[in-house]
Amino acid sequence: MDLTATLATHRLVAIVRGGDPDAALRTVLALAEEGVELIEVSLAAPGALSVIERARTAFGPDRPLGAGTVLTAEDARAAHSAGADFAVTPGLGDGVGAAQELGMPVLAGVMTPTEIIAARALGVAALKVFPVAEAGGAAYLKALRGPFPDAPFVPVGGVDEDLARACLAAGAIAVGVGSPLVGDAADGGSITALRERARAFRKVVEEATR
């Protein structure tokens, strides 16, 4: 898949991480039903690989499905075997190269200019600026775009509706959203409330794309 182009088209990545694999799967499926096209399942959550496997079965082969918190080469191989077709990392560990060798494009975690240069040299598909809220939010992203005006930045970490709107306005190719979107749904919380939040975030993205 062309992850960079897909991010530019859909502009929202939902990050699912919860303590209940069945609830996490329901969350993934509900997000998909609400039109969230890019979903990552964090490997830091219990049963994450089974969630990816079952979601892939439900989606079929063509819908994008990511594995998050890919730290090691073993993580990348396991995620690929489970059916993930892109990888999201918190940094530039061994999982980046291993995922690319398997044909999985990578959204790689960076924070500093040095890390951005290193990630681009590795040929990653996009740059996950993490944790953006703690680092200065949209102002920090705007500052990074000075020396890197064409870099495909995806701010992640504490991205609520307001910060999503500000980051997209500041030039982010997409935003990655975890708990402000997923809430407690992946732990067994309300799917109805999840659907409402998904619609709200999709509205933010649609408004930013006009």
Domain boundary assignment for the chain: 3-209
Specify the DSSP element, H or E, that contains 109: strand 106-110
Confidence (pLDDT) at 209:
85
Interval 108-128 mean pLDDT: 98
pLDDT in tens, 172-205: 999 999 999 999 999 999 999 999 999 999 999 9
C-alpha dihedral, 20 to 21 to 27 to 30, nearest 10°:
-140
Q: Give the pLDDT of residue 210.
A: 81
d(Cα 68, Cα 167) in Å, to the nearest integer? 21
Q: Pick from 6, 8, 25: which is nearest to 17 by CA?
A: 25
Q: Which fold has domain 3-209?
A: TIM Barrel (3.20.20)
In this structure, the strands spanning 126-129 and 106-110 are parallel
Q: For residue range 64-100, what is the model confidence (pLDDT) as tens digits? A: 999 999 999 999 999 999 999 999 999 999 999 999 9
Burial of 187-204, coded b for 16+ CB within 10 Å and e otherwise, reads eebebeebeebbeebbeb
Strands lying side by side in the sheet with 12-16 = 153-155, 126-129, 106-110, 86-88, 66-68, 38-42, 12-16, 175-177
For residue 99, what pLDDT is reported? 98
Catalytic residues: 40, 128
